[in-house]
Amino acid sequence: MTARPASAESPEAAASRLTGLPAVRARPLSGALTEVVLDGGRVVVVKHDEKPGAIRAEAAGLRWLTATGTVRVPVVHGHDERRLVIDRVTTGRADADAATRFGRDLATLHACGAPAFGAAPPGGPEDAYIGLAPLRNTPGDDWPHWYAEHRVLPYLRRAVDEGTVRPAEAALIEGVCARVPDVAGPAEPPARLHGDLWSGNVLWGADGHVRLIDPAAHGGHRETDLAMLRLFGCPHLDRVLDGYQETAPLADGWQDRVGLHQLFPLLVHTVLFGRGYAEQAVAAARSVPQG
């Protein structure tokens, strides 16, 4: 008898196989996500992703964040190369007190550190993803040069090749890359980043605690996570920042560096979604101080 390919396996069958518990019922949430109720009442989400290494990277990232005992993330119940089973998060209202707690927890997470800038989580692949875009976790010791070479320029080059960023705009962004050592602020050790911290990956739990999902976790600069939160409008961001600053104050001038740190996610979005984000990336580059 021929085994059924993993890609053809139903989400409830995958949930049962990976957790060891019978599935009672299933409900699609999106094309890639299915809610499954297991025997005993636990509710999980089965995520399906065909990109090579994507599930392994996500599972490793969630476990790396969990190991700190700081920010809350869904429990990983099992995974293979194409399926990930995690707890379903019951969401509620975005709350100011929860935002302050989240800011404190995020600061503590960052302080747990990483072996190097660009370091992948233990067990995670070097070739990972941020959303649908490839993300290479190449370690480096010097943040300004690592950030320019491995977080900005790869996406800029692709956007130029595809005609989404114009040559004069590329020259402007390349000029910022050359100035990163002069405008990056005081040197900091590698932080343990969520790595894709836009508001859609911040779930406000019904229990009053924030959960983070879909990490692109790696070692990086803590201001990058915070700049991404600002980029797409996190609820109660002022309270998140208050909690963060109470726990681990940011270096002077961090507000002036927001555009520098937003270049990375904006260029990722340029590659994935087109010209509108290219214009935002150019605006972010123009906001970077001259040094």
Please say if 196 is a catalytic residue. yes
Alpha helices by DSSP H, listed for the chain, are 11-19, 54-66, 96-111, 143-147, 153-161, 167-183, 222-231, 237-247, 258-273, 275-287
Catalytic, out of 196, 207, 214, 242: 196
Long-range contacts of 51-55 (CB under 8 A, 24+ apart): 51/129, 51/132, 52/81, 52/127, 53/125, 53/127, 53/128, 53/129, 54/128, 54/129, 55/79, 55/80, 55/81, 55/82, 55/83, 55/84
Calpha distance 232→91 (Å, rounded):
19
In order, the DSSP letters of 84-98 are EEEEPP-B----HHH
Active site residues: 196
